[in-house]
C-alpha cells in the first residue's frame, strides 16, 4: 500500500508540473486562422489550431517560447504566457506567371510510387514530403501539374489532412516557396484512394522540381481512441488505452532518396534507408521488401500540357 501511495504521489507531482496553455490565433482582421502549427521552441511537443483558431497545449515551463507557423502568414515566436491571443501577419505568396498555350489535344503522363495494398509501414512523422522532377523534354511536353493520387488509411470517417506543394532549394531540400495555396482534404474511413484535380490551378513545374507535402493535423476530429489488450510478462491480461491522430499515409519502399520528413520543431530532415533485422527469416518474410530501401508516401502525380 505504501508503495502504491508513493507511486500515486509521484504521478500527481508529475501532472502538477504541467499547465495548460489555451489561446486563439487570428489574422490582422481578427479572423480565426485554422490549422496553424504550434510547437515549443527546441522541443518535440506541438499542436494545431482547430477550425475556430483555438488551441490548447500542455506546457511544463510557461517561460518557454511557442512558435506559430501557417502557410500564407509570417512565422511568430512568443512566450507561452503571452499566447492568449496571437495575431499573425499575412504575407503574399508570389506565384510565377504562367503563360498558357492553346493545344487542341490534351496529353498527360502519370508517374510516381502509388501502391494499392500490402502496407506494413505508415506515416511515422507528422510531415512527409516527396520530391518530383522531370527532364527538360518532359517539362516542355507536360509543363503543368494536373492531378494528384494518394492512398490514406483512416480509423475515423472524417479525418482531415493538409497537402501543399513547394519548390526545391538548391541543396535539394524542400523550400518555403509554395506553388499553390494549401489543400485541406477530408478523407473517408478505411483504405481509400484519393484523387485531387489540380488542373484549374495552372501550377507550372519549377525548373528544379518540387515537393508534395502531406501533413497530419493535431485537431480533435483527427483523434482516435483505442483500447489494447495484451499479456504482461507474468501472463496476466492487461488493458491499456491509447490515442492516435488520423489519417495515415502508407509508405512504400523505393530505391531513390527522394523522401524528406519534418519534426515538430519544423526542421526538414532527409529520410534514411530502412533496415530490417534478419530480413531473410520466416518472421520477417512480409517485411523483407522494405529492407535497405527508402520509404515514401504512396502517391502518383499526373502532369499535362
pLDDT in tens, 35-79: 999 988 887 788 999 999 999 988 877 788 999 988 889 999 999
How many C-alpha atoms does 33 have within 13 Å on its Cβ side? Answer: 24
pLDDT, the chain, mean: 86
User: Whole-angstrom Cα distance, residue 55 to residue 211?
Assistant: 29
Q: Facing residues of 302 across strands?
A: 110, 147
Q: What pLDDT is recorded for position 14?
A: 44
pLDDT band for 257, please (50, 70, 90 cuts). very high
What is the DSSP secondary structure assignment for residue 173, as one 8-state letter?
S
Mean pLDDT across the stretch 91-117? 71
Residue 3 has pLDDT above 50, yes or no: no
Q: Which residue has the higher pLDDT, 63 or 85?
A: 85
| Residues in CB range of 231: below 8 A, 6 or more apart | 237, 238
Helix or strand holding residue 14 (H, E) = helix 2-16
pLDDT band for 2, please (50, 70, 90 cuts). very low
Contact 86, 68 (CB under 8 A): yes
What are the pLDDT digits (tens) for 211-228?
999 999 999 999 999 887
For the chain, the distance separating the N- and C-terminal CA atoms, rounded to the nearest angstrom, is: 74
What are the pLDDT digits (tens) for 231-252?
777 878 888 888 889 999 999 9
pLDDT band for 265, please (50, 70, 90 cuts). low
Domains and CATH numbers, the chain: 2-87 (2.60.40.1120), 108-304 (no CATH)
Residue 18 has pLDDT above 60, yes or no: no
User: Whole-angstrom Cα distance, residue 20 to residue 110?
Assistant: 47
Q: Which three cell numbers stand for residue 275?
A: 533496415
Residue 11 has pLDDT above 80, yes or no: no
User: Whole-angstrom Cα distance, residue 143 to residue 100?
Assistant: 10
Q: What pLDDT is recorded for position 34?
A: 94
Q: What pLDDT is recorded for position 250?
A: 94
Q: Which residue has the higher pLDDT, 254 or 61?
A: 254
Q: What pLDDT is recorded for position 217?
A: 93
What is the DSSP secondary structure assignment for residue 177, as one 8-state letter?
E
Residue 133 has pLDDT above 80, yes or no: yes
User: Whole-angstrom Cα distance, residue 87 to residue 254?
Assistant: 42
Q: Which residue's C-alpha cell is 519502399? A: 253
Q: Tell me the percentage of the chain whose pLDDT exceeds 90.
A: 58
Q: Which residue's C-alpha cell is 504512396? A: 298
Residue 99 has pLDDT above 60, yes or no: no
Q: What is the pTM of this model?
A: 0.83
Q: What pLDDT is recorded for position 100?
A: 47
**What CA dihedral angle connects 279, 280, 285 and 290, to 10 degrees?**
30
Residue 203 has pLDDT above 80, yes or no: yes
What is the b/e burial string over 2-17, where b = at least 16 CB atoms within 10 angstroms of the residue's CB? eeeeeeeeeeeeeeee
Amino acid at each position: 500500500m505504501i508503495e502504491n501511495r508513493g507511486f500515486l504521489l509521484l504521478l500527481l507531482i508529475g501532472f502538477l508540473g504541467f499547465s495548460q496553455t489555451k489561446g486563439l490565433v487570428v489574422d490582422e482582421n481578427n479572423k480565426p486562422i485554422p490549422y496553424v502549427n504550434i510547437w515549443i521552441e527546441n522541443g518535440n511537443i506541438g499542436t494545431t489550431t482547430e477550425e475556430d483558431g483555438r488551441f490548447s497545449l500542455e506546457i511544463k515551463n510557461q517561460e518557454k517560447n511557442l512558435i506559430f507557423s501557417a502557410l500564407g502568414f509570417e512565422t511568430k515566436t512568443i512566450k507561452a504566457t503571452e499566447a492568449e491571443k496571437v495575431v499573425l501577419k499575412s504575407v503574399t505568396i508570389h506565384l510565377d506567371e504562367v503563360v498558357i498555350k492553346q493545344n487542341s489535344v490534351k496529353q498527360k503522363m502519370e508517374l510516381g510510387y502509388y501502391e494499392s495494398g500490402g502496407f506494413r509501414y505508415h506515416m511515422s512523422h507528422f510531415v512527409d514530403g516527396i520530391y518530383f522532377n522531370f527532364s527538360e523534354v518532359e517539362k516542355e511536353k507536360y509543363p503543368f501539374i494536373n492531378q494528384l493520387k494518394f492512398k490514406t488509411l483512416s480509423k475515423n470517417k472524417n479525418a482531415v489532412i493538409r497537402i501543399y506543394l513547394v519548390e526545391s532549394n538548391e541543396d535539394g531540400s524542400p523550400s518555403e516557396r509554395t506553388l499553390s495555396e494549401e489543400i485541406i482534404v477530408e478523407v473517408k474511413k478505411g483504405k481509400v484512394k484519393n484523387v485531387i484535380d489540380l488542373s484549374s490551378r495552372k501550377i507550372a513545374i519549377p525548373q528544379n522540381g518540387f515537393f508534395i507535402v502531406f501533413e497530419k493535423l493535431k485537431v480533435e476530429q483527427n483523434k482516435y481512441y483505442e483500447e489494447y489488450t495484451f499479456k504482461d510478462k507474468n501472463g496476466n491480461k492487461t488493458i491499456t488505452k491509447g490515442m492516435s491522430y488520423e489519417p495515415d499515409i502508407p509508405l512504400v519502399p523505393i530505391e531513390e532518396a527522394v523522401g524528406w520528413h519534418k519534426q515538430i520543431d519544423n526542421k526538414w530532415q532527409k529520410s534514411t534507408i530502412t533496415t530490417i533485422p534478419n530480413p531473410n527469416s520466416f518472421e520477417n518474410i512480409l517485411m523483407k521488401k522494405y529492407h535497405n530501401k527508402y520509404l515514401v508516401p504512396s502517391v502518383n502525380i499526373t502532369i499535362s500540357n
